Amino acid sequence: MRITDNQHKIAKEDFITEYPKLSQALLDRTLDNLSREDSIFIFPNDLMNSPDLDKDQKILETFNQEIKTGNVIGFLGYGQERLTISSRFSNANSDYFLHYLLQKVLNINLTNLDVGLSSEDKLYQLLVYLFPKYLQAALRKGLYKEYQRFFHNDSHVKGAIDVGNHLKKNVPFMGNISYTTREFAYDNPLMQLIRHTIEYIKNQKTIGSGAFDANRENVTEIIRVTPSYKLADRVKIIRLNQAKPIRHAFFREYRKLQELCLMILSREKHGLGPQTQRVHGILFDVAWLWEEYVYTLLPKGFIHPRNKEKRDGISVFRSHGRKIYPDFYYKDLKIVLDAKYKKLEFTEKGINREDLYQLISYAYILKAKTAGLIFPSVEKVVDNDIGKLAGYGALLKKWSILIPQEAENYDHFVQQIHQSETINFRF
């Protein structure tokens, strides 16, 4: 059974037959609930920062005797059962589209993509892609420190006497005393786990150090605060972190990073072994990825407002501060754009009423000359005028980026989509 994003009318009975455990664990559960109660990684890693995902959104929603999916794609498993929700632009063998979006949005120097990998190995590759962003999110809380016990043997006693070690080391007495101290330190098992993950990824031939091109300062800081790092300690560090997961709610981002590090270093893929008693996997908000990808293509000068961060919005009224948040706008060029992860290529010049009214609002408030939608398409490139508005005459348009469907390999896919990007983005 092949399942893609925005798919409707999946027979519920057939799904339950093929995925009995997953159907019981996933159907009609919200993303927030899955993220908190199970080992599910949702990218972007904080639902509060995703403009397109709602915490109450469901991965698989039932209606009558059918199931539908939304803008979430990824990999999920429970015991021996494994479910892939692909992008609708993927084929049976690969999802170059997802890898390309991740490469562009995460700024990964991806020079080689292994195509002969199993589904689990492809997922494992995605785990490595995500690490820099999870690291960045955790470090916004500051470097993690916790109490550590240190052993000393000198004449400057400032802690509890360690009688056992003192008898071993200081008989006959030569002036030193063995003692222990308990101090806050950055060089702790969690930070060591992060350091081991960094060193491990650096040695991966597919991505290697290119994964950290945009995060070199973070990596340098982790290396600085973990001077006791030793490659030989990796197994011990993994076990310490497995035995002592981060519990405090304030460090939720570090908890997710800890889980991710353990999955990468333990090579447990997404935890789909027979011993697994919870749902595991990775989910991507593909609508968010599409929006961020489009932003990488736009000329400098375009502003990308952030709705949930209340940043770069546009005032609706002159008298008070209610704001709207179009995806992109350029005041000097009088252009406003919205990225839509929708099927719009076969609707001729029209768009649905909600999108139309949204464009009209943006165009009117910004006094834009052009307002348009940018969406992914198959089969044909779209560059259509929806029409000129009655009134001051703003032109409404829709553009598409053609997603290659017949690429021989990943490099071929990149070449083809670059052609579509070049053709379409001329304002």
Residue 250 lies in a domain: yes
Q: Which residues are within 8 A (CB) of 335 and not within 5 positions of it... i.e. 6 or more apart?
A: 302, 329, 368, 369, 370, 371, 372, 427
In which band, very low, low, confident or very high, does the pLDDT at 179 lie, cut at 50, 70 and 90? confident
Let me know the angle formed at the C-alpha of 124 by 119 and 83, rounded to the nearest 5 degrees: 40
User: Would 18 be classed as within a structural domain?
Assistant: yes
Domain span at 277:
3-142+188-288
The answer to whether residue 103 is domain-embedded is: yes
Give the tens place of pLDDT for each residue, 192-235: 999 999 999 888 766 655 667 767 888 999 999 999 999 999 99
End position of a domain, from candidates 239, 265, 288: 288
Choosing from 288, 323, 342, the residue where a domain stops is 288
The model's pLDDT over 50-69, given as tens digits with 9 standing for 90+, comes to 445 566 678 899 988 899 99
Are residues 15 and 78 both part of a single domain?
yes
Number of domains within the chain: 3
- Residue 293 counted as domain residue: no
pLDDT of residue 136: 87
Whether residues 264 and 352 share a domain: the answer is: no
Verdict on whether the full-model pTM lies above 0.85: no
Which of 288, 310, 332 is the C-terminal boundary of a domain? 288
Residues 50 and 72 grouped into a single domain: yes
List the beta bridge partners of residue 39.
Answer: 280
Q: What angle do CA 11, 16, 22 make, to 5 degrees?
A: 125
Beta strands in 79-203 (DSSP E): 81-86, 146-154, 160-161, 177-185
Same-domain pairing of 215 and 350: no
Regarding whether 195 and 178 lie in a shared domain, the answer is no
Residue 374 falls inside a structural domain: yes
Three-class SS of residue 331?
A: coil
* One domain, residues 355 and 397: yes
Shared-domain flag, residues 74 and 176: no
d(CA 351, CA 368): 19
**Shared-domain flag, residues 122 and 243:** yes
User: Considering the domain boundaries, does residue 259 fall inside one?
Assistant: yes
DSSP secondary-structure letter at 303? B
- Is residue 281 very low, low, confident or very high in pLDDT (cuts 50, 70, 90)? confident
Q: Render pLDDT for 371-415 as a digit per residue (tens, 0 to 9).
A: 999 999 987 777 788 889 888 789 999 888 999 988 888 888 999
Ranges assigned E (strand) in 253-368: 280-285, 314-315, 323-324, 328-330, 335-339
Same domain, 124 and 262: yes
> Exposure pattern of 225-264 as b/e (b: 16+ CB <10 Å)?
bbeebeeeebeebbeebeeeebeeeebbbbbbbbbbbbbb
152 and 131, same domain (yes or no): no
Write down the mean pLDDT value for the chain.
82
- Please say whether the beta carbons of 83 and 30 come within 8 A: no
Same domain, 214 and 344: no
State whether 103 and 198 are in the same domain: yes
- 392 or 326: whose pLDDT is higher? 326
DSSP tally for the chain: helices H, then strands E: 13, 18
